[in-house]
Structure 1
C-alpha cells in the first residue's frame, strides 16, 4: 500500500473517531438534560403542590404563598417546595396536582402528575387524607384509563416523600417512646411495599426521600426556645434512615438491574444547611418565620372574628423554616443546592 493510500485511510479513521466522540458527548448531554419524560410525585406536604383541600388549615390560607406565587396556592411554604426544585433539576415544569386533572389542559399531563397530600403518611393518619398506597392507586386508575401509557411510565421517575406524619400521628395517639423502634420498622416496611407497588406498575427509576431531622423541626425546638435540635428524636430518625437504606439495598438486589431504587438524602442535606446556614444566606436556622401568637395557634390561624393569631418575620428569604414543620422557599432552595452537590444526580444515573 502506497503512502498516499495509508495517509488517506488514517485521515478517514481520524474523522470517524472525531465524529463518534462528538456523538458520545452529544448523547451524554442529552441524557443529562433530558433524563425523564415525566415526574410522578407521591407523599405528603413536603411535596404537595395543591392537592390538600382549601377547607383544611395551612397551604391555601394567608400568609402561605407570599413569596411565590404571591398568594396561597396549596403549597405548605411561603413559596416553592421540594417538588418544584426536583422538577427544575429534571428540566420539567412542576407536575400538576391530581386534584386539578379535570380542569387544566391535557397538555399539562406531559410533565407528569403530583398525587401528594399534606398530612398523610404510609399509614392512615388523623387527616383522613389518602395515604401513599391510595395515591398510587389513583395513579393506576389513570393508567387504566389510558391517560398514561406503559411507555410513559418506563421513561419516568416516581418520587415518594415520607416526611414523618406517621410518627406525628403515633405520638398524638399516645404511642410510647419505648415502642417507637418497632413502629419505625413498620413504617419502613410499608414504605418498601409502596416502592414495590410502583415497580409493578412499570417504573424503572423510583426515588424515596430519607427522613429529615425531626428533632430540628420548630415543633420540637420550641421547647428550648428554638436554640438546639433534639438529639433523641434525631437518633430515631437515624434508625429510620438506616432501615430504609437496608430495604432499598435489598430491593435493588432483587430487581437485578431492571429497576433502580434510589434514596435522596434529605437528612444530610437538612443537616448540612442547619450546621452551616451562612453558606446559604440563612440567618435564622431553627426559629420559624410564621408562628402562632401562643401555643394554641399555628401559622395562618385566625379567631372567630377573623383576627390574625400569628406573626410573620420580615425576611422569609433569610429564614430556613417557614412554620413549625416546613421549610421556607429559601430553605428548600438551600436543601436543593446541597442535594445537587451530594445526591440529586443519583436520580439520573
Structure 2
C-alpha cells in the first residue's frame, strides 16, 4: 500500500524553505548552446494558445506569479523546463514554436503541446493539439532555418550535437487515452504491458528522427504515478484508497521499457548519450523519502468539469501550501523541485544513468 500511495510530490513542503532561498540563474555562458523541449502541458508555454482546443492556459488565474502573466503555462508561475533553462545558464526561456518570431532559435525552442501524447490519437477529444511526431517535424523545420543561419548543414549539426534535448511525454497517453474508455478503445486492444510496448516503439522512432538531424544529448523523463493526480482521484479512486492503483501500476511497464530503450540506444548510438530521469523515484528515495505527503483533491484554483482553472477566477492566496494548481498540474514550487532533481539528482540510483548536470558536460 505504501508504494501505491507515495505520491511523486512526496516531501515537497519540506523543500519549500530550501527552494525559496535558491537562486537558479547561473552567471556566464549557458552550459549548452541550445535547449530543445518536447512534451505536453507540463512543458507547454503557449503552443496551444491559437489552436482550436479546450486545453489552454493563456488566461488568469494561470500565470498569476509569472512575470509576464498568463502565457499558456499550466501553473501559477514557471514550469520545470523554465527552471532548467535558468539552471543551464540561459538568460531567457525557450520560446514556443508557435511564436519564434524574433527569437534566437539557435538557443532553443519549446515544441510542447497540452493534451498531446506519443500517439496521434491521444487527447483529440480536447480539440487540436501537436502530438510528438508533429513536434519532431516542427523541429526539422527549425533545423532547416538553423542550417541557413549557420550557412551549412555541417555547421548546424555541429551546433545541434552540443544542444540538450528534453523529452517529457506519455502521461496523456494514459489519462487522456488508455483510461478514458468513453473516448478511446486502446484499453480493449492492449494490456498495460502491450500498450507500454506500443508507446515506447513509437517514442523510439521519434528519438531516431531527432538523432538523424543532429540531436546527441537526450534527457528523457519518466511518467509519475498518475493515479495520485487530483482529477484521477476524484474520478476513479475507490473508497478507502487515496490513489488509483490501476493507473499507478499501468505506468510502471512504460518506465521500465523506457529504461531498456535508454540502455539499447546508448549502445546503438555510441556518438550520443541518453539518460532517463525518474522524478517520482528521485523524490521518493532522496533526502525527503520519509516525509509523509497528504494526498487529496484540494487544488489552488476553481476548476471546471475538465479539471482546468475556470478563466478569470482568483487563485488561492497561499500558493505554496497546495501542491496542485489545477486538477492536473502542480504549482511552481513543485516544478522547481522537479527541475532541481532532474538537473542534479541525489547520489543514489535515482537518475539513470546520470543527471542533466553531468549530461551537458559530455
The answer for the alignment partner of 2:172 in structure 1 is: 165
Following TM superposition, where does structure 1 have runs of at least 4 consecutive aligned residues deviating by more than 4 angstroms?
A: 223-227, 270-273, 275-279, 282-286
Give a deviation string over 1:288-312, Cα, whole Å, max 9, x none. Answer: 222426xx3533336xxxxx7x674
Question: Which of 269, 292, 296 is equivalent to 1:255?
Answer: 269
Q: SS of 2:187's equivalent?
A: coil
Distance 1:66 1:191 in 2: 34
Structure whose CA Rg is larger: 1
1:330 has 2:333 as partner: yes
288, 306, 309: which one pairs with 1:300?
309
How many residues align? The count is: 305
Alpha carbons 2:157, 2:214 under 8 Å: kept: yes
TM-score (norm 2): 0.75
In 2, Cα distance between the equivalents of 1:82 and 1:313? 21
Name the SS for the 1:94 alignment partner.
Answer: coil
Distance in 2 (alpha carbons) for counterparts of 1:79 and 1:277: 28
Structure 1-normalised TM-score? 0.77
Q: Structure 1 residue 137: deviation in Å? A: 1.1
Assess, with a 3 A threshold, how the Cα gap between structure 1 residues 286 and 278 changes in structure 2: closer, same or farther.
farther
Match of 2:252? 238
Distance 1:64 1:80 in 2: 10
Q: Which residue in the other structure is 2:301 paired with?
A: 290
State how 1:29-178 maps to structure 2 within 5 Å.
Answer: 34-54=30-50, 56-57=53-54, 58-69=56-67, 71-92=69-90, 93-102=92-101, 105-106=102-103, 108-124=104-120, 125=122, 126=124, 127-145=127-145, 146-147=148-149, 149-167=156-174, 168-172=176-180, 173-176=184-187
Where structure 1 has 5 or more consecutive residues not aligned to the other structure, the ranges are 1-29, 303-307
Match of 1:193 in 2: 205
Higher normalized helix content (fraction of residues): 1
Query: Could you report, residue by residue, the CA deviation over 1:103-139 in whole angstroms, capped at 9, with x for unpaired residues?
Result: xx34x33421111111111111204322111111111
For residues 276-333 of structure 1, what are the alpha-carbon distances to aligned partners after superposition, in whole Å with 9 as ceiling and x for unaligned? 6979xx887763222426xx3533336xxxxx7x674331222211111111101111
- The separation in 2 between residues aligned to 1:53 and 1:46, in whole angstroms, is 15
2:322 and 2:224 mapped to 1: Cα distance? Answer: 17
Deviates more, 1:240-249 or 1:174-183: 174-183
Deviation at 1:70, TM superposition (A): 6.0
- Displacement of 1:142 after TM fit? 2.2
Q: Which has the higher contact order (CA 8 A, sep 6+)?
A: 2
Moved more, 91-100 or 224-233: 224-233
Task: Tell me by how many angstroms 1:53 deviates.
Answer: 1.9
Q: Please, which runs of 5 or more residues in structure 2 have no aligned partner?
A: 1-25, 151-155, 347-354
Q: For 1:221, what is the secondary structure of its paired residue?
A: helix
- Residues 1:216 and 2:223 aligned together: no
C-alpha distance in 2 between matches for 1:246 and 1:162: 17
Q: 1:226 to 1:143 in 2, by over 3 A?
A: farther
